[in-house]
């Protein structure tokens, strides 16, 4: 199974995972470059960008902007700010 309805679609996972640009994952990202490229095209397509923003594709709406997914700045933006610490 693959495509938008499969949350484990390898190209989707590889592209989202690469968005954090983790140093510890650089070798894996380099090896997965063709898969990541396909995943980025999927993220920028209507399958995702009709709800999400991804770089220049789509526009911000109810769904989170997936640019930089998993990075420190992304995580800062998406963490709830109202939980007790
Ligand atoms: C019909 C609208 C819609 C489409 C199409 C859609 N999404 Fe989403 N997505 C959402 C919404 C709304 C949320 C936020 C859900 C929430 O906050 O509970 C979300 C959440 C997510 C999240 C979690 C974000 C986070 O902060 O943890 C990821 C990852 C994601 N979508 C990826 C995708 C991918 C990849 C595609 C295309 C294959 C896609 N989505 C297509 C509406 C959509």
For ligand 1, pick from 20, 42, 51, 55 the residue to mutate: most ligand atoms within 8 Å of CB: 51
pTM: 0.88
Reading the block at residue 64, the tokens are: 């989170």
Taking the centre of ligand 1 as the mean of its atom positions, its distance from the CA of residue 33, in whole angstroms, is: 23
State the closest ligand 1 atom to the C-alpha of 9, by its place in the atom list counted from 1: 38
* Residue 13: Cβ within 10 Å count: 16
Going residue by residue through the chain, which has 85 residues, state the pLDDT in tens, using 9 for 90 and above. 445 567 789 999 999 999 999 999 999 999 999 999 999 999 999 999 999 999 999 988 889 999 999 998 898 887 877 666 5
What is the pLDDT at residue 81? 76
| Every domain of the chain and the residues it spans | 1-60
Distance CA 74, CA 85 (A): 20
Q: Where are the beta strands (DSSP E) in the chain?
A: none
Residue 65 near ligand 1, beta carbon < 6 Å = no
Of 58, 53, 69, 75, the closest CA to residue 19 belongs to: 69
State the closest ligand 1 atom to the C-alpha of 48, by its place in the atom list counted from 1: 37
Cα-Cα-Cα-Cα torsion 50, 26, 70, 3, nearest 10 degrees, comes to 30
């Amino acid at each position: 199974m693959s495509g938008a309805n499969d949350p484990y679609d390898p190209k989707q996972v590889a592209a989202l995972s690469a968005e954090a640009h983790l140093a510890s994952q650089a070798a894996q990202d380099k090896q997965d470059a063709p898969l990541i490229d396909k995943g980025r095209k999927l993220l920028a397509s209507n399958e995702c960008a009709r709800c999400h923003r991804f770089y220049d594709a789509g526009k911000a709406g109810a769904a989170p902007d997936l640019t930089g997914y998993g990075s420190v700045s992304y995580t800062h933006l998406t963490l709830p700010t109202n939980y007790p610490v």
